[in-house]
Structure 1
């Protein structure tokens, strides 16, 4: 088993919640296409990701391509960054790049009847519960016009490959030096969680 698997299965949904912008990549008759879209994870009863839910512009050529061939790859990138040898006292230690990333192979189904719900759910996830959080009602009469230009989709997960390369292979002293010298707090937190739980 690889050292670079998530410490906890809940780490993958947490990565998506914290970094929801994904690349949706497809390969249709016109060749490869990729669109960056924020997505929500839908979990099964065991807490695993069963599907990814979102919406995109109907005018996006990738919509027609995915209707013809629904297979796609979805890529999420979490905390990541360069780890310089300047952080380490061992003169023979070389530089590396640490990261948390997840690749899903999916089958996409467009669900136009859920488009309003997609906008509402994504807005709620991104806005949180602050008293002044945005809601779709604030758009007033503009909502219906906007909804005609977008379409919701659900990407059913066929397979998942999560790679959390976050210092699990470092000697304890070297790891501690990296953490103490790292300016990127999000990456330091991810590294600490990946190695110590």
Structure 2
């Protein structure tokens, strides 16, 4: 990840919130032949007691668990990307200026525990509940259990135990407050490049600046160097 210190995320609670809110992730492992393997999948944050390492649950479609060697005990990398978007220099009202891309992202280095059929089914059910809960007529697995049970063996559930992490929030921290405010306003309303969720992240970052808590910039690593 980019090494600019001002963009580092220090607070693990912020990382947990990112995983809860943006649960679509990329799992990267090294295959037996040394080639990288990547899968895109939903993950759920396990609510572990305070002080315990982060733990996540997820599933892949078979045979991806074989490609990733999820039963090998090897370390894998999980990338969770939050809001992101293009930032036009035309929004700055200053010159010279060039475009950039603002974003929030976390790299989670994890050991993997492959789970059995019933635990895998529970992960599938919890994942459905996570996203169906906001629907007007939620379709949960018990409602289609016969069909769900029939296709569930095509997925392999796993638990990711986080050994260390690195997070970055690149949110125009290098710009004067007035410029950052203009970027926020554009991200809320621009007809082509609006990203309201990214604007909300920037507003929160500006709030941390104004209350003296800084840029959340120190370390950004748990359980070792990243």
Match of 2:91 among 87, 92, 102: 87
Q: Which residue of 2 aligns with 1:194?
A: 205
> Residue 171 of structure 1: CA displacement?
0.7
Q: Which residue of 2 aligns with 1:175?
A: 180
CA contact (8 A) 1:28 1:65 kept: yes
Match of 1:106 among 110, 126, 144: 110
In structure 2, relative to structure 1, the CA distance for the partners of 1:64 and 1:19 (3 Å cut) is closer
Show the 5 A alignment for 1:8-157.
Answer: 8-30=11-33, 31-46=35-50, 50-60=54-64, 62=66, 65-112=69-116, 113-130=118-135, 132-157=137-162
Q: Which residue of 2 aligns with 1:185?
A: 196
Per-residue CA deviation, residues 53-105 of structure 1 (Å, 9 max, x unaligned), is 01112322645622235310000111111111100111112222110000011
Q: Could you state the TM-score of these two structures normalised by the residue count of structure 1?
A: 0.90
Which consecutive unaligned segments of at least 5 residues does structure 2 have?
Answer: 188-193, 209-226
In structure 2, relative to structure 1, the CA distance for the partners of 1:137 and 1:68 (3 Å cut) is same
Alpha-carbon distance between aligned partners in 2 of 1:65 and 1:130, rounded to the nearest angstrom:
36
Per-residue CA deviation, residues 122-160 of structure 1 (Å, 9 max, x unaligned), is 111111254511210122321221122212100110111
Per-residue CA deviation, residues 155-176 of structure 1 (Å, 9 max, x unaligned), is 1101110101112221111111
> Residue 7 of structure 1: CA displacement?
7.5
CA contact (8 A) 1:166 1:194 kept: yes
> Residue 191 of structure 1: CA displacement?
0.9
Aligned pair count? Answer: 197
Which secondary structure does the structure 2 equivalent of 1:44 belong to? coil
Q: Output the aligned Cα RMSD.
A: 2.2
Q: Could you state the TM-score of these two structures normalised by the residue count of structure 2?
A: 0.79
Q: Is residue 2 of structure 1 aligned with residue 13 of structure 2? A: no
Q: Which 10-residue stretch deviates more, 123-132 or 15-24?
A: 123-132
